[in-house]
Amino acid sequence: MSEDSNIKADQVAAWLRDHIDFFQKRPELLELIRLPDPRGPAVSLLERQAQILRERNEELRNRLNNLIDVARENDSLFEKTRKLTLALVEQRTPETLFRTLIDSLHKSFGSDAVALIVYDRDLNLSGELRKNVRCHAYADLPEALQSMLRSGNAFCGVLRPAELEQLFPEDADDVKSAAMVPLDFNGKQGLLAIGSFNAQHFRSSMGTLFVSHIGEVLARRLADLLKNHGKLEAKRA
């Protein structure tokens, strides 16, 4: 196409933009315009417009369905989180608090692995709780974990083998993704880690609103129970 042709084509396009009702007065011209279609024979402008509208409607419908699915998932997650929050508030000893948390994360939230580290070496636990709850100082954590916890924010994503070994010693080889939240209230209380055998379950791009909420409730309840537990142990001694 020559330069003159390009100029004329641009002029026609500019003129049509300034006279958008041109084809409304001459609808017969729309039927004469043929547009190439890579999926088949050439189609009229009206057919192409109808096709574009159908495609846009389909795209909007898919987006709406995705939003509905996300809303339903969030509603379900909110309800589970609400029930767990109420259950945690009702507990009166560290042991029942830990059991309630672990059972709910496994049964209601479908977690494959749960680890709770409490920064209190004087807390004595027995039985099955030792599989999920460990007591040692914050300084004993690997530097990599300490670095991740310093921000005070929850984390979702893939952890290094050494970090998985520290958090989930019995399931380190199976856990492919995890969520971790520091438990801070009037000082560092511990950390909660939730593991999944699915590498896509906890993604770095996902939100941390619900796990952060659980961590905040757990930290406050844990601080109160550990304080009272220490007083009770001192009286017994």
pLDDT in tens, 62-121: 889 888 988 888 899 899 999 999 999 999 999 999 999 999 999 999 999 999 999 887
Name which CATH class applies to 93-236: alpha beta
Alpha-carbon distance of 145 to 160, in angstroms, equals 10
Mean residue pLDDT of the chain comes to 84
pLDDT averaged per 10 residues in sequence order, the chain, 237 residues = 64 84 74 64 65 85 88 90 95 93 94 93 80 88 83 90 90 94 91 95 86 94 80 42
Quick one: pLDDT at residue 37? 63
Task: For residue 156, give the nearest of 198, 185, 107 by alpha carbon.
Answer: 198
User: What residue spans define the domains of the chain?
Assistant: 1-31, 33-90, 93-236
Per DSSP bridges, beta strands 177-184 and 188-196 are antiparallel
